[in-house]
Chain A
Amino acid sequence: MNNVKNILDTLSSSIEGHNLLDVKFFAGKNREVTQEKFCEEANKSLTQFHLGQVEPKKSIDGHLKVVSINDFLK
């Protein structure tokens, strides 16, 4: 529970007037990991963002070539 509290503390201390509405996760393939380690990793990424060590990306796609389904089937 302490690790969950760390996540909430990082969330609430980082943004003024912050009102948390929802938190979700996309777990990795390692299901042998402990909850403590999982929460540690979640908190690590939040901390990196709030310390300004990482920046949002404007585009997640980059320059992807678009192909019609008919051309793909040829």
Chain B
Amino acid sequence: MSLEKLIAQFGSITEFPVKVDTVRDWIIKNNYQDEIYFIPTDIDENILRGQFRKYTRHNVTYGDPIFTTNILYAESMNLCWERFVCCKEMMHIFDAPKAVSCTSEQIDALTSSLVSSYIGNLSDSYLAEHDAVISALRVLAPIGAIKKLNDAYGERKKSDYDIARYFRIPEMFVPILFSGDYQSLCDV
């Protein structure tokens, strides 16, 4: 599976932070997309941090389709959040067909569930939003590196802030990286 190839590719890295630009370049070089654009916009990050749009376009009539991804993100975010949002959104390039949302009904269902605190019948596209967060963590803070840091983190020699700054990811995700559930998930 292509997402697993991507995670494996960045899993052996021993110097951090992983460059999100490098992740983008790998995806293009391996022909999963032709173009990926990161676009800062003036949106309220408290409401929407970013959005992903995948589409095809044509340069010339009857020409080959150009597979394009636009990632629009809130320019008010700090660097760690910008990197994380862009990386997470790129993970959607690998979403399964059943998780795609492109019709008005699908987008209506997805946006409705994203603003709701009610956990009901969750769609595949909604679950893909959460899977993409985990995939982005696996790329930016690979499990091999996290295991090397387990002791230092457990003994409080490295704080959440230290770890977040090292990987250049939002601090709120650091406890997840050191949780047993997350590490078991990565080992599967």
In-complex Cβ contact of A30 among B46, B55, B86, B158 (8 A): B46
- Once the chains bind, are A16 and B58 in contact (CB under 8 Å)? yes
Say which size band chain B's interface belongs to.
Answer: 35 or more
In-complex Cβ contact of A67 among B15, B37, B49, B54 (8 A): B15
- Once the chains bind, are A23 and B86 in contact (CB under 8 Å)? no
- Once the chains bind, are B115 and A49 in contact (CB under 8 Å)? no
- Once the chains bind, are A35 and B47 in contact (CB under 8 Å)? no
Q: Is the interface of A mostly helix, strand, loop or mixed?
A: mixed
Distance to closest chain A CB from B55 (angstroms): 5
- Interface of B with A (CB < 8 Å)? 14-17, 19-21, 24, 37-58, 61, 65, 70, 72-75, 79, 82-83, 85-86, 88-89, 92, 95, 100-102, 104, 107-108, 110-112, 114-117, 125, 128-129, 132, 145, 148-149, 152, 158, 166, 168
Chosen A-B contacts, 14 in total, with CB atoms closer than 8 Å, are A3-B111, A16-B57, A16-B58, A21-B100, A23-B107, A26-B50, A26-B85, A27-B115, A38-B48, A39-B111, A41-B48, A45-B41, A66-B17, A69-B145
